[in-house]
Amino acid sequence: MGLELYLDLLSQPCRAVYIFAKKNSIPFELRTVDLLKGQNHSDDFVQVNPLRKVPALKDGDFTLAESVAILLYLARKYEAPDHWYPQDLQARARVDEYLSWQHTALRMSCTRTMWQKMMFPIFLGQRVPPETLANTLAELDRCLQLLEDKFLKDQDFLAGPHISVADLVAITELMHRVNVTVRSGLAMVVNGSAEPSAQLLVSSIGVVGTAEENRGHSARFFEFLTKELDLAEDRASRASELTALPERPPGSEGLVDTSFWHLRVVLLPILTTNK
Ligand SMILES: N[C@@H](CCC(=O)N[C@@H](CS)C(=O)NCC(=O)O)C(=O)O
Nearest CA owner, ligand 1 atom 17: 53
**Closest-lying ligand 1 atom to the alpha carbon of residue 54:** 12
What is the model's pLDDT at position 225? 56
55 lines ligand 1 (CB under 6 A): yes
Question: Which residue, judged by its Cα, is nearest atom 13 of ligand 1?
Answer: 53
What value does the mean pLDDT take over residues 92-114?
93
Arithmetic mean of pLDDT, 241-265:
35
CA distance 99 to 159: 10
pLDDT at 146: 92
Q: Is the pLDDT of residue 118 over 90?
A: no
d(Cα 63, Cα 59) in Å, to the nearest integer?
A: 6
In the prediction, which pLDDT does 243 show? 37
Q: Cis omega before residue 55 (within 30°)?
A: yes
Q: Is the pLDDT of residue 233 over 70?
A: no
CA of 128 to the centre of ligand 1 (A): 22
- For a mutational test of ligand 1's pocket, the pick from 54, 104, 263, i.e. the residue with the most ligand atoms closer than 8 A to its C-beta, is 54
Mean pLDDT value of segment 254-274: 32
Nearest atom (ligand 1) to Cα of 70: 20
- Which atom of ligand 1 is found nearest the CA of 103? 1
Measuring CA to CA, which residue among 201, 220, 197, 203 is closest to residue 268? Answer: 197
- Structural domains of the chain in order of their starting residue, each with its CATH number: 3-80 (3.40.30.10), 89-170 (1.20.1050.10), 178-274 (no CATH)
Q: Edge to edge, what strands does the sheet with 56-59 contain?
A: 29-32, 3-7, 56-59, 62-65
Q: Sorting pLDDT into bands at 50, 70 and 90, what band is 65?
A: very high
The half-sphere exposure of 28 on its side-chain side, counting CA atoms within 13 A, is 26
Q: Are 3 and 27 in contact (CB under 8 A)?
A: yes
Q: Of all atoms in ligand 1, which is nearest to the CA of residue 33? A: 12
Assess whether pLDDT exceeds 70 at residue 40: yes
Q: How high is the pLDDT of residue 255?
A: 32
> Which of 53, 98, 263 to mutate for ligand 1's pocket (most ligand atoms within 8 Å of CB)?
53
The pLDDT confidence band at residue 36, using thresholds 50, 70 and 90, is confident
The predicted-structure confidence for 133-165, as pLDDT tens digits, reads as follows 889 888 988 998 899 899 989 888 899 999 999
- For residue 124, how far is its CA from the centre of ligand 1 (angstroms)? 20
| Banded pLDDT at 9 (limits 50, 70, 90) | confident
* The pLDDT value given to residue 8: 85
| Residue 12 in contact with ligand 1 by CB distance below 6 A | yes
Strand 3-7 and strand 56-59: the pairing is: antiparallel
**pLDDT score of 78:** 98
Query: What is residue 107's predicted lDDT score, i.e. its pLDDT?
Result: 92
Alpha helix stretches (DSSP H) within the chain:
12-23, 43-48, 67-77, 89-104, 106-114, 130-146, 165-174, 211-223, 260-274
37-41, 59-63, 107-111, 113-117: least confidently modelled range: 113-117
- From the list 217, 233, 213, 215, the residue with the least C-alpha distance to 274 is 233
